[in-house]
Amino acid sequence: MRHFPTMPFAFCLAAHFLFLALASSLHTSQLFLGHHDAQITDKTPLHPSFDSFVDRLMQEWHIPGLAIAVVHQDKTWSKGYGYATLPDVPFTPHTLYQVASTTKSFTASLTALLVQDQDDFSHVEWDTPLHSLVGNDFVLKDDYLTTHVSLLDALSHRTGMPRHDAVWYDQGLDAKSQTYLMRHLETSASFRTVFQYCNLFFTAVSHVLESVTGKPQADLLREWIFEPLGMNESYYSREDAANCRASNPRCILADSYAWNKETSSYRKWALNQSNPANGAGGIISNVVDYSKWVHTLMYESGPVSKEGHAKLKYPSSMQSVEMAPYSGPFWYGLGLDAGIYRNERVFGHTGGISGYASSFKFLPDRKFGFVMIQNSMNTAFEAMGWRLIDEFLGGPEDGFYDMNKTQSDLTKMREEKLKALPSKLYPSVPSEPVQPQLPLQNYMGTYTNAAYGNFSISLEAPSDLLDKSRVGEGDAEGLLLYAKSKGGNVLFTFRHVSAEHWLLEARYVDYGSKMAGDYMKVRFETKYTETRIPTKATTTQTRAPAKMVKDTAYYDALEVPPTATDVEIKKAYRKLAIRLHPDKNPGDETASAKFQEIGEAYQVLSDEKLRKQYDDYGKEGAMPNTGFEDPSEMFNEIFGGHAFADWIGEISMVRDMEKSMEITMRHEEENAAAEAEAEAAAANVDEKKASMDKATHEAAAQSHAGAAADLKDGMEKMNLSEEEPAPPAYSQERPKGVPTRLALTDRAEEEARMEAAGVTEAEKSLRAKEKKKGGLTKEQKEELAAFEAERERAREERIEDLSKKLINRVSVWTETDKGKDVTASFRKKMEQEVENLKMESFGLEILHAIGQTYTQKSATFIKSQKPIIGGVTGFFSRLKDKGTLVKETWGTVSTAISAQMEIEEMARAEERGGEDWTDEKKADFERRVTGKILAAAWRGSKFEIQSVLRDVCDKVLYDKTVKVDKRIERAHALLVIGDVFSKAARSPDEEGDHLAFEQLMAEAAQKKEKKKKDKEPKEPKEPKA
C-alpha cells in the first residue's frame, strides 16, 4: 500500500455555513403551493405574502420542497411547501429530514445533563479532559492536547483541529472508531486561540457520553430529551425513521435533490446519513417536533438546568469580529451560534448533509423562533429566516435585510474565487510542463492514510459513480487521473500541472454543477525502488522525482534533495555540523559562516510547518517566530541527550546525588569549622605546656615507663603478644569507660586506639560515615526526608508519563488487525527510530538498554500467561528478571568502586611525585581514570533507566483494568521494539562520526560548566597581613 498524505478537504459535507450554494437561472418548471398545517391562524407569520416570497425563492434556487415552523411564546405555526418526493408527495410539517449539524445543540445539552447530575457523574465537569474519561480511545498527536482538551473545548470548536471532514463523513465508522482515528490528524491552529469548526470533536463527545453512561447516544436522546419534551417523531437512525410509517401514516422521510441546469431536471441524492451514534449530525426529525426543541432552548426549560442553558449560550469562542447581518461580533456557545441583530440577541445553528439544508434561530428576549428544512443543498433558507425575523421585529419592508441578495453575491464571489484558485495554487507553471517521472499507469493503485483510509486512483473515472454525466465536464486536454469518495458522490480529478505536481479537483458529481467544490495542490513522491526487467538480467532504478519548491538554498546547504526525509535531513546536518563546528575550525570565518547557514537550514527543514512555508514561499515565509537560535547552542540542544526523553524521561541520578550531598555536606562544613577552632585552642594549650617544669616531665616519663613495664609483665603472664590485635571495635560490646562519641580534641587518641585494635581502613570509613549520619541535625534529617519524598513523587510521575507514551506508541500496532503489512510497517517505524537515535550521545547503549528491558519484561509476561505450565514458567521468568536486576546492581556498585580506587591510586602517585611521575605516566593515568569514571557514570545511568523502564513495563502489562488479551498484544509489540533496539548498530563510517561527535559534546559540556562557574559569585579575598 502506498502512503497517501493527509489532505484537509476544505469542501464540507456537513456544512456549518453551506458555502456550495449555486445560483442558477430563473427557470420556472412548476408552481410551488403551500401545504398548510391545522395550526395556521389569521395572525400567522406564515401569511400569503410570505408564502409568495417562499415560492419565489424556491423557484429561483430550485428547491423541490421545504417546511417551516414558527414559535412565538406558547403558540406554534407550521407549514409545508412543495414536494418531499417528486413528482407528487407533498412536503408537510410532519415530513422527516436529516437535521444535520443542528444536532450539535442536542449533544451539548446531553453533556450539560451529565455535568448537572453530580450524584451519578460527579467526576464530569465542563473542564474535564476527554482523555481522563475515555483514556486511550482519545489521543491526539500532541501530548499536551491529549491531556488538556476538555468537553468545553470540544463543544466550542477551539481545539486547533480543522474540519478533516473526509474522516468524519462517509467512512461507515461508529463514534469510538472515529475518535480513535483522531490521533493521526494534524492541527492547524494553536489550542484555544481561534474558532475552527470540527465535526469530529462532537463525535468524540458522543463517545464520551456513551462510555460514561454505558448507553448508546440514541437511547440517551430518547430517554433524556425526546420523551420528556414529547418529541415522538424524532429519531437517531435511518432505520428507525424508515420503520415509523408502520405506526404513523404521516411519517415520511423526504428525498433530497440537486438541480441540473443543463438538463433542466432534478436528480435525487443518495441518502447517506452521517454515521450512527454521531453527535455532530445524526438526528432525523420534522419541524413540528423540532419546534418543541426551539421552545425549550428559548425558555430555558426542560430537563437541562438554568445553569446548563446559560452555559450553552455563553460565548466560548469568537467566530468573527464582523458577520452580516449581525452588528458586532459573531460568537459560538456550545452547539449554538450567536450574535446581535437589531439590538436583539439571536441564537441558532445551520446544517447541511446529503442534499438536506436546515436552520433554526430564536430570539430569547422576545420569545420568538423558527426552524426550517429544505431538500436541496443551498442557502435559500437563510433569506427566508431573516425575512421572518424582520417581519416579527417590524419596520418598513425596504429596511429589511436582503439576505437573498447577500447569499447570491456570496455564491458568485465563491464561484469566481474557485475559478481563480488553480492559478493561485500554481502561479508559475512552465510554458512547457515537465512530464511526470513515471508512466501514467504507475500512478494507479490504492493509496492509504491511517485516518483517511484507502484511496484508489485509476486512469478512467470510476464506473459506479452516481452521476456519470458529470465526468469530464470542463476537462481540458492533458493528463488526468480519477478517484472517488467511499459514498460515490464526490469525484476527485487529478489534473497534471508539471513534473510530480497535480491539481486535485473535488466535485459533487450529483450536485448539479460542473463547478468544483474545492481545489488543492497534490504532489506525488516516489522512493528509490528496484524493478527487475523480466527479459533481461539487469536492474533499473526509479529515481525520486525533483520536488518543485520556491527555493532550494537550505536543501543545498545541507547537501540533500528537496525530497529528503526528516531522518536524512538530521543525518546530513549532524555530519556537516561535526565537520564545520567552530571548535574544530578555530579562526576559520568561512567554516563559522557555513556552520551558521546549516544551522538556519536545519531549524527550518526540521520543522514541518516551517518547511512547508519554505517550500511554498522561500526564506521570507519561513522565519521562526522567535528568530533563529545560536547555532552552537542549538547543536548542543538537539544532540544533548533530549532525543530519548519520550523513551526514558530525564535521568535524575546525578542531580539527586548532588542534592543529597548538598544537604549532608553542610554538616561536614560545620564540623570543619569546629575542628579549626579546636585546633587553635589546642595550639594555645601546647604553648602553655611548653613552659612546664622540666622535672615534672621527667617524673611523668619515669611513671609512664614503670607503667609500661608493669603492662608488659602482665601481658606475658596472660600469654598475650604485643602484636596480637584486640577484638574488632564493632564485633562486641564496647569496653566500659570509652565514650560513644569522642570529643574533637580526642581524635589522636581515637586514631591510636583504632590502630591498636587493628581496625581496617574500610571499618574506619564506615565508622566515619556513621558518625556523620548520626551527627545530622533534626532540620537536615527533615530536609533529606522531604527531598526523598519529592524524588519518589517525581519518579512516579515519570513512570506514569512514560507509560502513557508507551501505550500510545504500541497502539499503532495493537489497535489494528495486526496483519503482516501492519506489523512490517510497525517494525519499519521502530527501525527509523533507531536511525534517528543511534548517533546520540550514548545512543547505542541506551537503545540496547531499552531493548533488553522490553524484551525481558514482555517475554516474562507472555510466559506467565501460558496455560498449564504458565505458573511455573512465569515463576522462573520472574526469577530470571530479579537475577538480572541483582546482577545490574552489583555491576553498578563494583564499577563505581573500581573508579574510586583508580582515582585514589592516581592521587597517591601524584603525591609521591619523583622522577617516575612523568607526563606520559600522568596522561596514561588520566585516560584510565576518565574511562573508569565514564564507565561508572554509564552503569549508574543504565541502572536508573532499566529500573524505571521495568516499572513502566509493569504498569503497561499488569494493568488489571485492561483485558488480558490486549495486554498480551502490548507485550508482543514490546518484543518487536525490543528486538529492533537490541540489534541497533553503527557502520564504521558512523562510528568515526560518532567519536568526533562525542568529543564535541564533551567540549561543549566543559564550556557550559566553565560558564556556570564564571557566573557564580566570587568569595572576597582576605586582605594580606
Which of 497-523 are b and which e, b meaning 16 or more Cβ less than 10 Å from the residue's Cβ? bbbbbbbbbbbbbbbbbbbbbbbbebe
Instruction: Choose the weakest-confidence range: 170-174, 279-283, 355-359, 890-894.
Output: 890-894
| Position with higher pLDDT, 652 vs 2 | 652
**pLDDT of 677 over the 80 cut:** no
The H or E element containing residue 361 is: strand 356-363
- What residues pair up with 886 in beta bridges, in sequence order? none
Q: Alpha-carbon distance 611 to 564, whole Å? A: 11
Among the residue ranges 698-712, 827-841, 883-897, the one predicted with the least confidence is: 698-712
Q: Phi first, then psi: what are they for 292, rounded to 5°?
A: -65, -35
506, 9 Cβ separation under 8 angstroms? yes
Query: Which domains, ranges and CATH numbers included, belong to the chain?
Result: 64-405 (3.40.710.10), 429-542 (2.40.128), 553-638 (1.10.287.110), 798-1011 (no CATH)
pLDDT band for 123, please (50, 70, 90 cuts): very high
At 919-943, the pLDDT tens digits run 676 666 655 655 555 555 556 667 7
Residue 289, pLDDT above cutoff 90: yes
At residue 693, the pLDDT reads 46
Instruction: Specify whether the CB–CB gap between 860 and 874 falls below 8 A.
Output: yes
3-state secondary structure of 963: coil
State mean pLDDT over 3-9.
Answer: 35
How do residues 895-904 score in pLDDT, each as one tens digit?
455 555 555 6
Longest CA span, the chain = 144
With helix as H, strand as E and coil as C, how does 174-220 read?
A: CHHHHHHHHHHCCCCCCCCCCCCCCHHHHHHHHHHHHHHHCCCHHHH
Average pLDDT, the chain: 73
Which tens digit of pLDDT belongs to each residue from 20-44?
332 232 222 333 334 444 344 457 8
- The larger pLDDT score, comparing residue 283 to residue 464, is at 283
Q: Residue 903's pLDDT is what? A: 59
Complete DSSP assignment for 661-694: HHHHHHHHHHHHHHHHHHHHHHHHHHHHHHTS-H
Give one DSSP letter per residue of 265-293, joined into a string: EEEEPP--PPPTT-TTT--EE-HHHHHHH
Q: Is residue 120 helix, strand or coil?
A: coil
Neighbours of 779 (CB within 10 A): 10
Least confident of 406-415, 726-735, 818-827: 726-735
Q: Which three cell numbers stand for residue 512?
A: 448539479
Render 544-565 in DSSP notation, one character per residue: PPPP--S--HHHHHHT--TT--
Q: What are phi and psi of 300, to 5 degrees?
A: 50, 50
Written as one string, the DSSP assignment of 882-928 is HHHHHHHHHHHHHHHHHHHHHHHHHHHHHHH-STT--HHHHHHHHHH
Q: What is the pLDDT of residues 636-654, one digit of tens each?
A: 554 444 678 888 887 665 4
Q: Residue 404 above 60 pLDDT?
A: yes
pLDDT, average across residues 605-633: 75
Which secondary-structure segment (H or E) carries 530? strand 529-532
Q: Would you state the pLDDT for residue 1011?
A: 55
| Model confidence, pTM | 0.52
pLDDT of 62 reads 92
Position with higher pLDDT, 213 vs 241: 213
Q: Which of 166-175, 195-204, 471-480, 668-677 is most confident? A: 195-204
Q: Which amino acid appears at position 22 of this protein?
A: L
10 Å Cβ neighbour count for 462?
A: 17
Cis amide leading into 87 (omega within 30): yes
Q: What is the percent of the chain with per-residue pLDDT over 70, rounded to a whole number?
A: 63
Buried b (16+ CB within 10 A) or exposed e, 933-943: beebbbbbbbb
Q: Specify the 3-state DSSP secondary structure of 726.
A: coil
Are residues 591 and 577 in contact, defined by beta-carbon separation less than 8 angstroms? Answer: no
Grid cell locating 741: 562519641
Query: Residues 728-752: pLDDT tens digits?
Result: 333 333 333 333 333 333 444 455 5
Q: Are strands 344-353 and 337-341 parallel, antiparallel or unpaired?
A: antiparallel
Predicted confidence band at 355 (pLDDT cuts at 50, 70, 90)?
Answer: confident
Of 589-598, 887-896, 979-988, which gets the smallest average pLDDT?
A: 887-896
Q: Which of the two residues, 781 and 558, has the higher pLDDT score?
A: 558
Q: How far is CA 300 from each of CA 74, 305, 527, rounded to the nearest angstrom?
A: 14, 8, 60
Q: For the chain, give the percent of residues with pLDDT over 90.
A: 27
Quick one: pLDDT at residue 656? 58
26 CB burial (10 A radius; 0-12, 13-18, 19+): exposed
- Cα distance between residue 319 and residue 407, in whole Å: 19
Strands 368-374 and 445-449: unpaired
Mean pLDDT of the 381-391 span:
92
Element (DSSP H or E) covering residue 88:
none
pLDDT tens track for 538-554: 223 333 344 557 778 88
The average pLDDT across 672-678 equals 58
- Range in 267-281, 750-764, 772-786 with the lowest mean pLDDT: 750-764
C-beta atoms surrounding 768 within 10 Å = 10
pLDDT at 580: 78
Residue 79 near residue 35 (C-beta atoms within 8 A) = yes
Q: How many residues does the chain have?
A: 1025
- For residue 377, give the 3-state DSSP assignment: coil
pLDDT digits (tens, 9 = 90+) for 56-85: 999 999 999 999 999 999 999 999 999 999
Say how many CA atoms lie within 13 Å of 502 toward its Cβ. Answer: 22
pLDDT of residue 245: 78
Cell of 83: 414536494
Taking the chain, what is the end-to-end CA distance rounded to the nearest angstrom?
Answer: 85
Coil, helix or strand at residue 141: coil
Cα–Cα distance, 379 to 390 (Å, whole number)? 18
pLDDT confidence band for 389 (50 / 70 / 90) = very high
Question: H/E/C letters for each residue in 892-905?
Answer: HHHHHHHHHHHHHH
- 77 close to 64: Cβ distance less than 8 angstroms: no
Q: What is the enclosing helix (H) or strand (E) of 223? A: none
Q: Which of 585-594, 827-836, 908-917 is the least confident region?
A: 908-917
Query: Which of 164-168, 567-571, 900-904 has the weakest average pLDDT?
Result: 900-904
Helices then strands, counting H and E runs in the chain, come out as 32, 23
Tell me the C-alpha distance between 243 and 251, whole Å: 9
For the stretch 226-255, pLDDT in tens is 999 999 999 987 778 878 877 788 888 899
Grid coordinates given for 415: 464561484
